[in-house]
Homo-oligomer: A and B are copies of this chain.
Amino acid sequence: MAPFAVCTSPHLAHVPRMVTPTSIMFFLFFLQYVSNRHAVGQSSTEQGSLHSHHLQESLHDPQLIPCTCPLFSCQWEGHLEVVVSHLRQTHRINILHGAEIIFLATDMHLPAPTDWIIMHSCLGHQFLLVLRKQEKYEGHPQFFATMMLIGTPTQADNFTYRLELNRNQRRLKWEATPRSVLECVDSVISDGDCLVLNTSLAQLFSDNGSLAIGIAITASKVHTAGTEM
């Protein structure tokens, strides 16, 4: 069987931008992947079903997993080792390198549901950042951000990711263990087990409709039983 089959989903726009670097980040990248899932007629529920369906289909070979890109319905399945290649080549999701980076999500005003996606290569592994604008409560869109390791849950347990917003004399930091892409990103977001922003906070942290998210990965767990409150 081929390492992966090319899916037929439409490719994503890639919009590089320039902004001023800061002193606290090693790398500064400006990439935006936006897909208004209204436009492709795919809801989170449909994605979840698709994901589960793919997982069931893959039972004939437990090492095969479905496409982990939440932007589009994609029929691809393949081994974990080639997920990154699939995301880069088929979905044109760029990959950023470095322990600490900044991801600039532009056009935050786009209607929900909308996803922003970036891959982050760090400490010998690749991670997927998903920022989702979704209306859990009708008429009240919220933003949900999480990181998934392109690896197994056991591997994911070895890392901590940090998402940081810093603007207008406010700072918001979220740290957690990344989930594995073998889990469903939709359930992480529907559970609210991620960075959650209401619209007013997102506006406070945004600059001209763009939200800069500082991302950092560490290998050693900062949360131990001894330091928990």
User: Given A192-B198, A198-B196, A227-B23, are A171 and B174 neighbors across the interface (CB < 8 Å)?
Assistant: yes
Please name the 3 residue pairs, one residue from A and one from B, whose CB atoms are nearest each other, closest first: A137-B137, A171-B175, A212-B229
Selected A-B contacts with CB under 8 Å, 12 pairs: A22-B226, A25-B229, A136-B140, A169-B176, A169-B177, A170-B174, A171-B173, A173-B173, A192-B200, A192-B201, A193-B201, A196-B196
> Cβ of B22 and Cβ of A227 under 8 Å apart?
yes
A228 at the interface (CB under 8 A from B): yes
The residue in A160, A171, A172, A196 that gathers the most chain B C-beta atoms within 10 A of its C-beta is A171
The residue in A25, A136, A166 that gathers the most chain B C-beta atoms within 10 A of its C-beta is A166
What 0/1 readout, one digit per residue, does chain A (158-191) give for beta carbons within 8 Å of chain B?
0010000111011111111100000000000001
- Give the residue name and chain of the B residue nearest to A137 (CB): B137
A24 at the interface (CB under 8 A from B): yes
Which chain B residues border A176 with CB–CB below 8 Å? 169-171
User: Given A169-B223, A177-B169, are A228 and B193 neighbors across the interface (CB < 8 Å)?
Assistant: no
- Give the residue name and chain of the B residue nearest to A19 (CB): B229
A125 at the interface (CB under 8 A from B): no
A222 at the interface (CB under 8 A from B): yes
- Give the residue name and chain of the B residue nearest to A177 (CB): B169
